[in-house]
Structure formats: C-alpha cells, structure tokens
Amino acid sequence: MSYENNARIINDDIFDLINELFDEERSGRNNESRLDFFDTYKDYFVLTDDGSYSINSREINHKVETLHTSTGAISESFEKFIKPMKFDYTKDISILDICAGLGYNSSAAIADFMKNSNANLTIDMVEISAPTLACGLLVPSPIPEHDITKKAIEEELIGADYATLSLETTEIPENITLNVFIEDARKTVQKLKDDTYDAIFLDPFSQNMAPELFSVEFFKEFRRIIKDDGIIATYTSSAPVRAGFIDADFYIGLGPIFGRMQGGTLASPNPLMLDYSLPKNDEIRIALSDVGIPFRDYDLNNSSEEILNRRSEERHTARHTTKISSAVKTPIFLGQEMDDEKLKRRVERNLAKMNIPSTTSKEAHYIVEVENKYSKKQDIENNTRNRILEMKKRLKKIKMGN
C-alpha cells in the first residue's frame, strides 16, 4: 500500500463519513449538509478542557492518539507553538505549519499576528489528508480567526475538487496569505525555498506513529528553509527527535510544558533564540546513550516501519561500541556515588564495556564534567548543543583508549 494510503491520519469511521459528505456535495445532492454535520456526528469529536474540539487518530498497532491534548486543543496551539516564538512584528512573517490538521496552530498564529502587527503574514500549511482538513471546516471555530483558516482550507479543497461549495463567509485579510498543500510534508519541504521561514510548527503524531516526520533528513530540509533567527517548535521531549535536530545542525532548547509532564523542544540555527537548556539528564542521555540514536529516512520516502526498524538495528549495533547502553538509565549515573549495590553492579557492567571502570572513575568524571558548566539559561558558548557534542567526543576518546 502507498504511504499516502497508509499514513497515520484520523479515525476510519469519521474519515468515511466526511468522504461521504463531500461525495454528496460534489454530486450536487444534499447541498449545505456540511452545516449540520457536527451536530449529527458530535460523538465522534473529542471535547477538550478549554471547550475546543479534537478528533481521534486511526488505530495503529492497537493505539489511538488524539490530535490535540485533552488539556485544551486551541490552548495547546498558543502555549506550545506561539508563545515560544520571538516574532519581530515590525517585519513581514513567514510560517510553515507542518501537519496542519484542523488548522488550529495556523489560526492561533493569525490571532497573535493580528493583535500585534500591521505587516504581512504568510502561512504555508501542509497536511496529507484532505478529509482531515475538511474536518477542520466542520468543527465549531474555537477562536474567530479559525474562520479565516477555514476560508483558505475551503478554497484549497474546492481547487482540489474535494469540495464544491463556498460556504465560508469570512474573508482572508489582504495582508494575510494562506497556502495549503495537501500532500506528504516530506515532498512539500523539498520544494520550498531556502532561508524563508521565521517559524516552523512541527505537529505530527508521536514518534512511534510517524517517525518519518522526525528524521535527520527531514530536519536538514528545515535547516535549509528556515531563516537564521527562525525557531522550530514541537511538543515532544523525545531523545531521538532532539538528537535528530543536533545532527541536522540545529541548536536546541526546552519548549513550554503544557498538558504533559515534560517540556517540548525548540530548535534554531541561532542559540540566542532559545532561552532554556534541556534538563541535565536529558543532555547526558542524548549524548551518551543509545536512546540518542535519531531516526533516519535517507531519501525521505521510507515507511514508518522501515524507519523504526532501522533505528532499532542501529541502536543494537551502537550499544557497547559507540554508545553506553540505555538499560537501567546507565549514563545518568556517571560521576555519581551509588548506594543500591545491585543497580550499581548492572550500571558498572555496562560502563566497563565502554572502558569506564566505575561511576566515580576519572573517566566517568571526565565525560560528564562538561555538565559542571550547566546553566538553565543558554548562551552562545554554553548551551545544550555544545555540551552534548563535547560529551560525545569525550566518550569516543575514552572508548578508543586515548
């Protein structure tokens, strides 16, 4: 089956209902039935804590994810994607919204922009699934600016012969341009121009559902198309995702915490755009352990399974050769006294395979002493990226015996 047919998108039942609705619209029967779709099928939608609606994903490997956090779908857009940005609203702004879904992140960006700027805003929205975008037309708008996004989505769906009726009455303001791409984001990014975006919103399903949207190769395209002061925001705190940004030549920092235990991730070519370091143990794990092996998608066209399997094999090969085993969280004990004798034996067995005699040996201290300079606030010299790269270098040196 092709990637497009297999992609991780919305729940099959609502997907079929939306396709049927728009089949009817195209056939000219049942005009305007879009208007009562939500009331009829409300039970398929997920009400989140701030009153905005979300929707469930297709079931993959017995798992279902919701498109947004239950803490609040539209609040999540403002907290995770808009707040960490440092837009200079005296200038024109360009945003790439990857995995546009119901269009909430773009709508939040429009609302923030309209409050603060008279310049021009361009948003390129990318979403693989036409029915998911169409679903964005059917939900009640959580903020008035969502009507602007709806208008752009409707125009694109009409252009793509998915919809026929122009029912959205809100006009797109003259200083706002919204382009909608209905395709695999991996294809879209390869067509985009260098040095274009002030912000990239990266909002796929989780890394196990959609590793293809978290690969080093995908991030290298971001590195090409983002401006020098641009910022990428994503909700995940995953080690391979963060490692992927570093391999693609980004600085990384801690993103806002909202609806989760841990903060998300921000990335930028410029360390000064990122205020906060990752937590120390996250840096150590990314640098030294096999969890810090990123996702690889060399030609930007592999399936999720191929990418997950490739990473599993790479982790297996790296363990005890170039990386410390992630078992029992071994690397975070470097430089630490340990009371639990049983755990200590396991940790030190893993360390011995990397030529590190004990958690308190001079080798152990040497590798993590980089972290003595750790501060929450990042600067041009002292930041998460530089510390991770230095720890990696030191581990290699110890393993090679020099």
Ligand X SMILES: C[S@@+](CC[C@H](N)C(=O)[O-])C[C@H]1O[C@@H](n2cnc3c(N)ncnc32)[C@H](O)[C@@H]1O
Phi, psi of 204 (to 5 degrees): -80, 180
Do residues 44 and 17 lie in contact, with contact meaning Cβ atoms separated by under 8 Å?
Answer: yes
Q: Quick one: 126 or 152, whose CB is closer to ligand X?
A: 126
Q: Quick one: 100 or 231, whose CB is closer to ligand X?
A: 100
> How many residues would you count in the chain?
402
Region 8-47 residues binding ligand X, contact defined as CB under 6 A: 8-9
Looking at residue 319, what DSSP letter applies? B
Region 121-160 residues binding ligand X, contact defined as CB under 6 A: 126-129, 132
Q: Which of 210, 226, 239, 370 binds ligand X (CB under 6 A)?
A: 210
Region 370-389 residues binding ligand X, contact defined as CB under 6 A: none
The answer to whether 67 contacts ligand X (rule: CB under 6 A) is: yes
The token duo for 262 is 């841990």
Q: Quick one: 210 or 388, whose CB is closer to ligand X?
A: 210
Beta bridge partners of 180: 125
Q: Which of 99, 121, 180, 351 binds ligand X (CB under 6 A)?
A: 99
Question: Smallest distance from the beta carbon of 294 to ligand X, in angstroms?
Answer: 18
Q: Is 353 exposed, middle or buried (0-12, 13-18, 19+ CB in 10 A)?
A: middle
Question: Smallest distance from the beta carbon of 389 to ligand X, in angstroms?
Answer: 30
| Residue 40 vs residues 1, 67, 155, 200, 283: alpha-carbon distances, Å | 32, 21, 24, 35, 49
User: What's the rounded Cα separation, in Å, for the pair 359 and 314?
Assistant: 26
User: What's the rounded Cα separation, in Å, for the pair 21 and 138?
Assistant: 11
The answer to whether 217 contacts ligand X (rule: CB under 6 A) is: no
Q: Which of 79, 112, 168, 203 binds ligand X (CB under 6 A)?
A: 203
Question: Smallest distance from the beta carbon of 82 to ligand X, in angstroms?
Answer: 12
Residue with tokens 């999720």: 304
Region of residue 135 (left: phi > 0; alpha: psi -120 to 50; beta: else):
alpha
User: What's the rounded Cα separation, in Å, for the pair 309 and 48?
Assistant: 34
Question: Smallest distance from the beta carbon of 370 to ligand X, in angstroms?
Answer: 35
Question: Smallest distance from the beta carbon of 325 to ligand X, in angstroms?
Answer: 32
Question: Smallest distance from the beta carbon of 205 to ligand X, in angstroms?
Answer: 5
The answer to whether 100 contacts ligand X (rule: CB under 6 A) is: yes
Q: Quick one: 67 or 85, whose CB is closer to ligand X?
A: 67
Q: Quick one: 135 or 368, whose CB is closer to ligand X?
A: 135
Q: Quick one: 44 or 276, whose CB is closer to ligand X?
A: 44
Phi, psi of 124 (to 5 degrees): -100, 115
Q: Quick one: 197 or 276, whose CB is closer to ligand X?
A: 197
Element (H, E) at 254: strand 251-254
Q: Quick one: 303 or 355, whose CB is closer to ligand X?
A: 303
Q: Please give the distance of CA 311 from its chain centroid, rounded to a whole number.
A: 18
Binding site for ligand X (CB under 6 A): 7-9, 67, 77, 99-105, 126-129, 132, 184-185, 203-205, 210, 213
